[in-house]
Structure formats: structure tokens, C-alpha cells
Amino acid sequence: MVTATSPYQGYVYAYPHKTAYRPLDPRPPLRRVWEGEPMDSLSLYLHIPFCEMRCGFCNLFTRTGAPDELVAAYLDALERQAGAVREALDAALDSASGAAPGAPGGAPGGPVFAVAAVGGGTPTYLSAAELTRLFDLAERTMGVDLRTVPLSVETSPATATADRLAVLAERGTTRISIGVQSFIDAEARAAVRPQRRAEVEAALGRIREAGFETLNLDLIYGIDGQDARSWRHSLDAALAWKPEEIYLYPLYVRPLTGLGRRARDWDDHRLGLYRRGRDHLLAAGYEQVSMRMFRLPDPARTAAPAHTTGYCCQSDGMVGLGCGARSYTSALHYSHEYAVGTRQVRAIIDDYVRLAPGDFTAANVGFRLGDDERRRRHLIQSLLQAEGLDPAAYRARFGTEATADFGSEFDRLAARGWLETDAGWPRLTAEGLAHSDAIGPALFSGAVRELMAGYEAR
């Protein structure tokens, strides 16, 4: 474990990774999958797999140039899926005892959603009228009271138009997240992300005018031609907007030119830019939440659990709707099919829009989590946050000590100077956080690693 040399093995935003999912045979009915699961604090995730451009670095489940008819057909299918899933959740609740009927954030007697997010792709590829339809579906069919729960929506500079932002604000969006990547046009071009700074600035102006509680801005480091100076320039341009959150992403697609031929040079370059970026944001008063995430301290923010802050889709109890969306229960993570290649993504979306309500009542592909994997998931997801692993929370959840279950992992990380334990509370050091993308994958179980290695990319 932790023998990898590159600090950039992979971004662990969820465990297990989707490439560890396999077809479920027989396909378990959702009403059984959700039976006995707590349903008083669920998260809802809606996936919109459309973009106006395909950026060179992006491997998310999305396609470009979707015609209006396809978008309309997609929303139709989403509605059929929402109806089928809501029915399954209700049936699961009916057959279980101890449900929490009528709690805030949900329809009386139904599942209660405590947080919602719309991601992609680019959700604002949808028109204002289509976004209205999407929110109606979340409220009427899923029973989410969008105005009372944190609601996060992703957008892009070209699609963050005033009419769409007005719909988002009016329907209760609390957090808006925009991909900027770089404030330098030549760098945006080098990342195959055709956009102009003027367009980015105008979009940020419209977002601030619409008045969302939290603005998040994504930046990327490691772009061809980017250096310490130009990185600082982008960071300062971002800071001028005083965004409540900033995400710094290392680029994962290696530039074809520059930096010589050695992978090591690129690693060192990215690590150098990361450190500069981190230090610059810390000096500007931001706090580091994880390797990628920085936020302005908010005295009004009480110690809210990560899954209620609107950016995190990683907790148990997540209902994902749409093509490419994952859903989590404590025992099963599942989704529809998954692909990245342009042709396959298009084919999967084309299939999805033809599905009948009955096709949405069972899980297709997934991963079953036993107690060991649940512990490991908890370990990975806590340790990769700057806050570290709360030993009492771990004990309360699993009835054992994290230090007993993962003692050898902690020892190896500590030996590299990547982990320190303070009064029994393990957390990554600054260097550990810098190496999150090596530490995360190194903590995967053998079984997950094997499944991921056996996954045939489509």
C-alpha cells in the first residue's frame, strides 16, 4: 500500500468507483433495495448529460449538440423514472416500520429529502422552461421541498444566462457551481475549452446579480502553457469575485507538448502549482476542506454534516435520477449503464429516453457493500477531508475502533509523513492532503481494485 510514486493516481470522489459496478443478475427490485433503509434524510441527484462543448480534459457522462427533441425526450424519461422510483420508495417505506412521516423537506408520509443537487454535464444546457420542468418533477414527483433544503446546481459560462439563473434562484438554488478552469483565453484553448474571459466575467456578474448564497468556481492546474505566474493570475481573477467556494482540480489529461517527456516532470509541475494555489487561497482567508475544495469561513455555518452542504453526493441514502446517475443505499450502490466514449454515451442516452416506467423499477448494474467495504468507504471518505476521521463517529457507526480496523494503513501513511493522530483523531497532514489522489486509491480493497482492473472501458 502507498507505494505509488505519482501523486496523481485518481480522483476518489466516491467509493467504490463506478468501474467496480457489474450487471446485477437477477436485477433487484428497487422496493426491496430500499426496504429498511433510513428515508428521513435522503439526497436527490439529477443528472443532465448535455453540454454545449466537449472539453478536452473531461470524462464525465455527457454529450454535446443534443437537439431540442432529445432534451424533451430526456425530460420525459426522467419523469417516468422519477415516478417509478418514488413508487418504489413509498412501497419500501410501507413495508418497513419506523419511517419518519411528515418531517420537513418532504411530502407527508413519503421519503424525506434533506438535500438536492443537479449536475452534469451542464444542467443549464436546459432552457429556462426546461429547468422549470425539471424542478417541478423534483418537487411534485419526488416530493422534495426545494425551497427548504440546500440545492446545488452546476452551470457553465455560456449557459449561465439571466433567464435561466432567474429560474434557479426562484426555485431555491442555494449553491451555484461554475466551471471556469482558467481566466486566460490561451489556456482555455489549450485545455480544449473554447471560451473567452469576457464571457466568464459576464457570467459571474449575472450569477452575483441573481444572488445565490454560495458561488463555487472551478479552476484547473497543469494546463499546457500554464506557469506559476499565469496560475496566480487566474487565482486572483477568481478571488476578485470573493466566491464562497473554490475548487482546484489537477488536470488529468497530459498535454502533448511542453514539460519534456518525463511524467515525473508533469507531476512535479502540478504539485508545485497545487502548493502555490493552496497557499494563495489560505493567505486570502479560505479554509481547506479537502485537496480540491477551499471555502470562506462562515460564522453562520454550524458544524453541518458534509452531505447537507450541497456539494457532496457521497453519503448513504442518495437517489440518483437520469442517465449515468448513481444511487446509494447502505448495502448497494447502483446505476444504469456507464460509458465515456462519445458513441457509447450517445447510444446509452438514446436507449434511456425509450425506457418505459417498468424499466426503472429495478437496479441494473451495481456493487454490494458488506460491512468491510462500508468501513473502508467511511475511512476513505473521511480521511480525504481535511477534518479527518472522527473516531467517535466511526465507533458509533461500526462498534469498533478505526485504529484497530485500519491500524496498518494508518501506520504506513504516518511513516511517510502523510498522517498524524491527535488525541486518537487521524487526519492527513498538509503533505498527505497534497497526495490525496495517491492515498485514496491505495486504500481501496483488493476486491474493488480487481473489479476496476477488469473493467472494459467503453
Ligand X SMILES: C[S@@+](CC[C@H](N)C(=O)[O-])C[C@H]1O[C@@H](n2cnc3c(N)ncnc32)[C@H](O)[C@@H]1O
Using CB under 6 A as the criterion, which residues of the chain lie in contact with ligand SF4 when the complex forms? 51, 53-55, 58, 60, 62, 120-122, 156, 179
Q: Is 351 helix (H, G, I), strand (E, B) or coil?
A: helix
Per-residue x/- track, 34-53, ligand X (CB under 6 A) = -----------------x--
Per partner kind, with CB cut-offs from 5 to 8 A, the member of ligand SF4, ligand X, none near residue 130 is none
Nearest to ligand X of 249, 455 (CB atom): 249
Per partner kind, with CB cut-offs from 5 to 8 A, the member of ligand SF4, ligand X, none near residue 249 is ligand X
Does residue 57 bind ligand X (CB under 6 A)? yes
Nearest to ligand X of 144, 178 (CB atom): 178
Distance from C-alpha of 437 to C-alpha of 47, rounded to nearest angstrom: 25
Report the site for ligand X in 167-206 (rule: CB under 6 A): 178-179, 181
Nearest to ligand SF4 of 195, 382 (CB atom): 195
- Residue whose grid cell is 518525463: 262
Distance from C-alpha of 362 to C-alpha of 359, rounded to nearest angstrom: 7
Contact 165, 206 (CB under 8 A): yes
Nearest to ligand SF4 of 113, 125 (CB atom): 125
Nearest to ligand X of 235, 332 (CB atom): 235
Q: Please give the helix or strand (H or E) that residue 92 lies within, else none.
A: helix 68-95
CA angle 367, 368, 371 (to 5 degrees): 135
Does residue 154 bind ligand X (CB under 6 A)? yes
Nearest to ligand SF4 of 216, 385 (CB atom): 216
Give min distance, CB of 58 to ligand SF4, in A.
Answer: 3
Task: Say if strands 22-23 and 425-428 run parallel, antiparallel, or are unpaired.
Answer: unpaired
Contact 389, 379 (CB under 8 A): yes
- Residue whose grid cell is 457507526: 397
Give min distance, CB of 177 to ligand X, in A.
Answer: 6
In this structure, what C-alpha cell is assigned to residue 27?
436485477
Does residue 426 bind ligand X (CB under 6 A)? no
In this structure, what C-alpha cell is assigned to residue 328?
446509494
Contact 294, 214 (CB under 8 A): no
Nearest to ligand SF4 of 123, 317 (CB atom): 123
Count, residues near ligand X per rule CB under 6 A: 19
Contact 279, 324 (CB under 8 A): no
Report the site for ligand X in 239-258 (rule: CB under 6 A): 249, 251-253
Give min distance, CB of 81 to ligand SF4, in A.
Answer: 21
Give min distance, CB of 207 to ligand X, in A.
Answer: 12
Per partner kind, with CB cut-offs from 5 to 8 A, the member of ligand X, ligand SF4, none near residue 37 is none
Distance from C-alpha of 232 to C-alpha of 210, rounded to nearest angstrom: 28
Does residue 156 bind ligand X (CB under 6 A)? yes
Distance from C-alpha of 362 to C-alpha of 325, rounded to nearest angstrom: 14
Q: Which residues pair with 455 in a beta bridge?
A: none
Q: Name, in order, each residue with C-beta under 8 angstroms of 399's C-beta and a sequence gap of 6 or more.
A: none
Nearest to ligand SF4 of 15, 61 (CB atom): 61
Give min distance, CB of 453 to ligand X, in A.
Answer: 20
Closest CA to 427 of 296, 307, 290, 293: 290
Per partner kind, with CB cut-offs from 5 to 8 A, the member of ligand SF4, ligand X, none near residue 54 is ligand SF4
Does residue 309 bind ligand X (CB under 6 A)? no
Nearest to ligand SF4 of 193, 376 (CB atom): 193
Residue number of the CB closest to ligand X reads 179
Q: Is 124 helix (H, G, I), strand (E, B) or coil?
A: helix
Per partner kind, with CB cut-offs from 5 to 8 A, the member of ligand SF4, ligand X, none near residue 253 is ligand X
Alpha helices in 211-292 (DSSP H): 228-239, 263-283
Contact 88, 32 (CB under 8 A): no
Residue numbers at the binding site for ligand X (CB under 6 A)? 51, 57-60, 119-120, 122, 154, 156, 178-179, 181, 218, 220, 249, 251-253
